[in-house]
Amino acid sequence: MKRVLVICGLFLIMATPSQAKKGLDASAGKDAFETCRGCHSTPNYSNVAPVFYVPKIGGQRKAYLASALMSYKHENRARTSMLANSENLTEDMAVAISQYIEVSAGKVTKAGYTGGDAKKGEALAATCTGCHTGDLKDGMTAPILAGQHGNYLVKVMQDYQSGVRKDAVMQSMVGAFSEDELKDIAAYFANQKGLSIVK
Ligand code: HEC
Ligand code: HEC
């Protein structure tokens, strides 16, 4: 028992300096974000193969952003250009960058076209909006989808279906939809006012 206490005590002492290091904030995040601007601050910047617009992240929730960055690092998401951008990120730095992104919404531009039917999508998305609200201030942790590029939303829902992107909840939420239904859902969210590029 005594040994456990000693170990706990040591841990507390060791934990203190790293608490102090949490001085990383949005301004450190802003500096680190410079390498990301080419893709995430350029309106309608398109990925080449497959073709989809790079996701809008300006105004996205910081808790989600930090967890998304760690997902690339831990390979729960596809080995795209984002793996190279996240490979050496520490958790503290991911949090700092995410703080900067959340408060740095740029001009809201029209979302990429999906070809889906937004009205049908609204009915299909009735089970989604409890988690995917558009309001930054409501304390939710799921990503905001409002204003996201439609072709990115379709692509990423297909990634959940194929298991290229791993998340148990989302894989079960979108597993049964057809491609047309995914396009309808994407059109519904893409047509809303919300996310932007990072200014
Ligand atoms: C070469 C272009 C490129 C660069 C540079 C880049 N990204 Fe990305 N980013 C992408 C693409 C493409 C995706 C979508 C990947 C996927 O399919 O999951 C993405 C996805 C993301 C996501 C997840 C968005 C979501 O809605 O889930 C975050 C967060 C992100 N990037 C942050 C960053 C940060 C922070 C940096 C710099 C450290 C960065 N990106 C650099 C292209 C880029
Ligand atoms: C219980 C809460 C919850 C429900 C309900 C839910 N989601 Fe999600 N969704 C999440 C979370 C958490 C994530 C982030 C998972 C990750 O990091 O991969 C997510 C991620 C997503 C993404 C990826 C966003 C991005 O920026 O990459 C899409 C698209 C999405 N959900 C669509 C839907 C749709 C469509 C429905 C309804 C059919 C739905 N979700 C229902 C919690 C939920």
**Letter string b/e over residues 17-50, b meaning 16 or more CB atoms within 10 A of that residue's CB:** eeeeeeebebebbbebbeebeebbbeeeeebeee
User: What pLDDT score does 11 carry?
Assistant: 37
* Nearest ligand 2 atom to alpha carbon 165: 18
Q: How far is the CA of 34 from the centre of ligand 1 (A)?
A: 13
Identify the burial level of 139 via C-beta atoms within 10 angstroms of its C-beta, where 0-12 means exposed, 13-18 middle and 19 or more buried: exposed
Regions of the chain short of the pLDDT cut 50:
1-21
Q: Is the Cβ–Cβ distance between 57 and 45 less than 8 Å?
A: no
**Cis, bond preceding 50 (omega within 30 deg of 0):** yes
User: What pLDDT score does 166 carry?
Assistant: 94
User: What pLDDT score does 110 carry?
Assistant: 66
Q: How far is the CA of 170 from the centre of ligand 2 (A)?
A: 5
Token pair for 153: 């939303």
Distances in whole angstroms, Cα of residue 179 to Cα of each of 10, 88, 144, 174, 183: 55, 35, 21, 11, 6
User: What pLDDT score does 22 carry?
Assistant: 54
Q: How far is the CA of 85 from the centre of ligand 2 (A)?
A: 23
* Ligand 2, atom 43: closest residue by C-alpha: 131
User: What pLDDT score does 50 carry?
Assistant: 80
> What's the alpha-carbon Rg for the chain, to the nearest Å?
19
* Ligand 1, atom 23: closest residue by C-alpha: 68
Q: How far is the CA of 37 from the centre of ligand 1 (A)?
A: 10
Please state whether 116 falls in left (phi above 0), alpha (psi between -120 and 50) or beta: beta
In the Cβ-directed half-sphere of 165, how many Cα atoms lie within 13 Å? 23
- Residues 65 and 198: their CA atoms lie apart, in Å, by 13
Residues within 6 Å of ligand 1 by CB = 35-36, 38-40, 47, 54-55, 57, 65, 68-69, 77-78, 80-82, 85, 97, 143, 156
Distances in whole angstroms, Cα of residue 48 to Cα of each of 80, 81, 101, 133: 11, 11, 24, 30
* Nearest ligand 2 atom to alpha carbon 68: 17
- Residues 8 and 20: their CA atoms lie apart, in Å, by 19
* Nearest ligand 2 atom to alpha carbon 160: 18
